[in-house]
Structure 1
């Protein structure tokens, strides 16, 4: 670029491009009057009085059009001098400049949005300039970005990219554009995939910038799809993904994995284009050799290290699932906000109230159903309106209980598109339905475009939607939850899968839960159902302790809940036997009376006589009286139902011929106490003892 000054003074040598003769002219108005007076635009200018504002505006428009044609030619050919509206004082790169989408003058990217606030043509068009990035994205479309990029790819993908060095790499690389167009052809029918396509292309652009630092002779990605450049490709991926040779790990392992997949697809895309060309068909062998080399080495040298890095980061990492009280706090907050905003929007509809109520409705739907954020935020308005009600005459409906039938009448089920095209349901309660109905009713009044197809629309974009994870994070913080960072959609889904382990769900019930969550039962068990530390210690350790004691063979056909381990298994063998003997002592034995007597073997001769003399006669009399009272109590016989309940619950103890402790019996009484007619815990313990002692038949 030409600068505007020298070492001592300013230069006045700026020239302009003539749109008619394609030459540079220092005095463009005089040149137009002398050489092109017969042109329609020039004739209109000459018909106006000199020094008038209208004449100056028309001359400026022709001057801007000429400079735009010249500058776009510089970008297209990669040669020449760029002429901006204001030349820089110091040398700089042309990539820092973009044209105004109305007047065509080139400005520094950071000042482009400011210029459009003053641009006369932009003011006449009545179009809002928008944010800096959106202005730059629209202006970047005016610059030639590549001979082979389709208009659809430019408008949908490249127009939304940040105009930086990575963008320039994509704009000048034919293979990256072709790769992006192949993804757009496959996934472009859904707008939500456009961001992913843009990210994959930008990853390749970042990769190319690193490769050019390693090998300055490489210009395009096509030159790397050959066996001789495999090491260059490998080093480029290592650099961009931050590979540490000392620890043999990646800083960004997911980027290394995605780049490996993208490079393989680029090779396949290039192979397909070469096979269609008779001249380039001989180069297919090099591409096949490159793919074979990647297949042989990439997994060992790159992918395995990236996967290992990802796995090691999960080891001993804190797995903080949402607390039940945090979920309750969040739900109470959402209900309160829902009621407040609904009353406000009914009395006085406003854009701010509509936006807040939309966020609350989106968050409530997400939390209730524990859906993925990408499923709820993309819900369509037509899916909500076309929901069908349950057929009450169906056989399945008739087989439900009364409470389940009542739920089906109150709840609303919507089927939406989930991950990998699966059909997943979303359930809405009555109050959630009333809130969404209110939002649908106020859409047009609050400025939602008719072209917006989403159920939770964003007013900031004509066809946009709210990002569910951002809304959930905002609501979690605002609710005052103790640990708002744990209230994410993924952790809520894992919380559901983990807590259901406390229930004794059968196989078909687990299948139904996994289907509702939108994944396979194997994925449900492997990735979502986390093994809590306490549960792992309590249940799995029972198996290991019994195995260590040699008792596992006695517990065949038992599950983890039915395994029995004494609470003091860590004691020695003798201590354990003594403790069991104490537990098995009858409740009406001498040792359990108020006055205990030492054994006769422990006292002899004079010691025995001294002991009885010193003993209180009253205590002896009281003891004998209590013993006599106990003998007069008639034992209550156990009914058959009571015996079945006891033996079923304590089958593990009976099988091991082991007396249950008080805490074990208390658990049984909490569950079956109402059916035992006020039996004490000691009665139950002795029932178990008699069961394996063959006293009761």
Structure 2
């Protein structure tokens, strides 16, 4: 399909081509087989008309495999996934035809074809021998699982002895398929999967982890809210009602997605009956008493709706009072513009059973709101943004688990895939931890969290170490210029009864350079030499002993 086309839906001509291709495939000798498939009515009509689709639809094994996938799911949206899976196998089959000459996929399920499967997978996934990288790493990664499932489906058909597959000896075919599957299980990882996984992880690492900024989210929210109010006012009047109805639906869809940070499918597939029929649950009084007054007000202001999410799990959606008022206007005008057969709340006015595309809606509104980077406004990035910002809040383990359940995944998934480490946050927290450990004062902070440790305490060690090294260098240089290793302050020894006065006081050389020592020894007689005499000397010596306690007789510089 042309990349420049803004509307990616099939045109009328393409619908005719798809119908003609489906008719040609389903009117052959296996017409009864195709008539029994759900694929004929659900998947084949949406497949593109080309050689890839023709090869996939014409292979019985591929169609049987796709039919088994389709029957596992109830939601109609799975048909797009099935179509993509069939086209992947169709591309693989066309490549195997060129390499081996086999026309159907069953003929390739032999052990000697293992290397052909490896080469064909590298071709369709865009493998580069020089850089040892894939253009489509995910395709190469899951192709091994798909081929093992194809082997299981072929085994099932051969055991049932179906007449749809051409084979001569079923037992021989079963042994060959079993051996080929063994090769896939034991050697596919060394050939394809390991390299594809490394390539995928490297691409994620090299790709910058960008998220929408909070200022852009606020700007987007204000713009969409303003557009919703204008569309509501115009819808109540007579100015372009249908266009305003669609704009109001798109704005409500965007506001709901922005508030709940859900997956796009969980919002755009919401049905009217699920929104209207809100079952009232029996709430325990203990829970209401545990809430604060503001929290009790919020429970009355927000409407909680449960819908089906990923994996058919119940997913809650919250609707504020403002959004509820907009939806009430939407429902009041719904019968005028939307078919009664359309069950979706955010229905497409131009169709009978379709819904609005949440991806294209968010993209269009983001471009119109003139945010700094429109490519960042996707449901996945919005979910990652709220999961990352949540790290700043000091929430408990139970609150974290409850929030993860509201988002529709487990705590492990939330922490592994959605929470991203911010550079500033990581640098600040981890550097504090490293400084604390390297300071050798871990016992001092025993039982404390990183929030309790002051950053000045952690940096203190480095600054003190530098000061001590600098002082030690100055002391060693000054000690070489001193006339003696100790400075002895002589007192008046005439009074032999005073033992404390009879002992000389030793002052560490570092004290000579302190401001306290210079303040005491301002007398010219004190600065004339290192020995002080007279009655004034006794007063100064007493002051010095109070400022600088006596050191051991051993000089610390000579240890």
Per the normalisation by structure 1, the TM-score is 0.63
Counterpart pick for 1:225 among 109, 116, 127: 109
Is 2:337 aligned against 1:337? no
Q: How far 1:295 sits from its partner (Å)? A: 0.6
Q: Map 1:186-201 to 2 at 5 A.
A: 186-187=72-73, 189-201=74-86
Is 2:23 aligned against 1:142? yes
Deviation string, structure 1 residues 151-184 (Cα, Å, up to 9, x no partner) = 5211211111111010110122111111111111
The verdict on how the C-alpha distance between 1:194 and 1:238 changes in structure 2, with shifts beyond 3 A counting, is same
Counterpart pick for 1:311 among 201, 210, 220: 201
SS at match of 1:425: strand
Counterpart pick for 2:88 among 192, 198, 203: 203
Q: Map 1:267-666 to 2 at 5 A.
A: 267-277=151-161, 280-348=170-238, 350-389=241-280, 394-446=285-337, 448-566=338-456, 567=459, 570-571=462-463, 573-575=465-467, 599-600=518-519, 603=522, 605=524
The answer to whether the Cα contact below 8 Å between 1:514 and 1:524 also exists between their aligned partners in 2 is: yes
Counterpart pick for 1:133 among 14, 19, 30: 14
Q: How far 1:276 sits from its partner (Å)? A: 1.2
The answer to whether the Cα contact below 8 Å between 2:37 and 2:67 also exists between their aligned partners in 1 is: no
SS at match of 2:71: helix
**Residue number in structure 2 paired with 1:251:** 135
Deviation string, structure 1 residues 52-102 (Cα, Å, up to 9, x no partner) = xxxxxxxxxxxxxxxxxxxxxxxxxxxxxxxxxxxxxxxxxxxxxxxxxxx
**Residue number in structure 2 paired with 1:115:** none
Q: Distance in 2 between matches of 1:206 and 1:264?
A: 17
The verdict on how the C-alpha distance between 1:569 and 1:253 changes in structure 2, with shifts beyond 3 A counting, is farther
Q: Distance in 1 between matches of 2:171 and 2:236?
A: 68
SS at match of 1:424: strand
Q: How far 1:229 sits from its partner (Å)? A: 0.4
Q: Distance in 1 between matches of 2:273 and 2:326?
A: 17
The answer to whether the Cα contact below 8 Å between 1:170 and 1:202 also exists between their aligned partners in 2 is: yes
Deviation string, structure 1 residues 122-143 (Cα, Å, up to 9, x no partner) = xxxxxxx953323322333332
Q: How far 1:357 sits from its partner (Å)? A: 1.0
SS at match of 1:465: coil
Deviation string, structure 1 residues 675-695 (Cα, Å, up to 9, x no partner) = xxxxxxxxxxxxxxxxxxxxx
Q: Map 1:650-689 to 2 at 5 A.
A: none
Q: Distance in 1 between matches of 2:143 and 2:350?
A: 33
Q: Distance in 2 between matches of 1:234 and 1:553?
A: 57
The verdict on how the C-alpha distance between 1:141 and 1:412 changes in structure 2, with shifts beyond 3 A counting, is same
Q: Distance in 1 between matches of 2:463 and 2:407?
A: 45
**Residue number in structure 2 paired with 1:234:** 118
The answer to whether the Cα contact below 8 Å between 2:53 and 2:86 also exists between their aligned partners in 1 is: no
The answer to whether the Cα contact below 8 Å between 1:568 and 1:576 also exists between their aligned partners in 2 is: no
**Residue number in structure 1 paired with 2:51:** 165
Q: How far 1:459 sits from its partner (Å)? A: 2.6
The answer to whether the Cα contact below 8 Å between 1:392 and 1:398 also exists between their aligned partners in 2 is: no
The answer to whether the Cα contact below 8 Å between 1:256 and 1:306 also exists between their aligned partners in 2 is: yes
Q: Distance in 1 between matches of 2:103 and 2:429?
A: 61
Deviation string, structure 1 residues 229-256 (Cα, Å, up to 9, x no partner) = 0000010000100112222221110111
The answer to whether the Cα contact below 8 Å between 1:477 and 1:484 also exists between their aligned partners in 2 is: yes
The verdict on how the C-alpha distance between 1:553 and 1:249 changes in structure 2, with shifts beyond 3 A counting, is farther
The answer to whether the Cα contact below 8 Å between 2:148 and 2:181 also exists between their aligned partners in 1 is: yes
Q: How far 1:607 sits from its partner (Å)? A: 9.2
**Residue number in structure 1 paired with 2:536:** none
**Residue number in structure 2 paired with 1:684:** none
Q: How far 1:440 sits from its partner (Å)? A: 2.0
The verdict on how the C-alpha distance between 1:285 and 1:181 changes in structure 2, with shifts beyond 3 A counting, is same
SS at match of 2:438: helix
Q: Distance in 2 between matches of 1:597 and 1:541?
A: 38
Q: How far 1:597 sits from its partner (Å)? A: 8.2
Structure 2, unaligned runs of 5 or more: 3-9, 163-168, 472-514, 529-559
Q: How far 1:461 sits from its partner (Å)? A: 2.9
**Residue number in structure 1 paired with 2:499:** none
SS at match of 2:335: coil
SS at match of 2:230: helix
SS at match of 2:518: coil
The answer to whether the Cα contact below 8 Å between 1:545 and 1:565 also exists between their aligned partners in 2 is: no
Q: How far 1:337 sits from its partner (Å)? A: 0.6
**Residue number in structure 2 paired with 1:181:** 67
The answer to whether the Cα contact below 8 Å between 1:365 and 1:428 also exists between their aligned partners in 2 is: yes
Q: Distance in 2 between matches of 1:393 and 1:568?
A: 53
Instruction: Point out which structure has higher relative CO (alpha carbons under 8 A, 6+ apart).
Output: 2
**Residue number in structure 1 paired with 2:555:** none
Count of residue pairs the alignment pairs up: 464
Q: How far 1:316 sits from its partner (Å)? A: 4.5
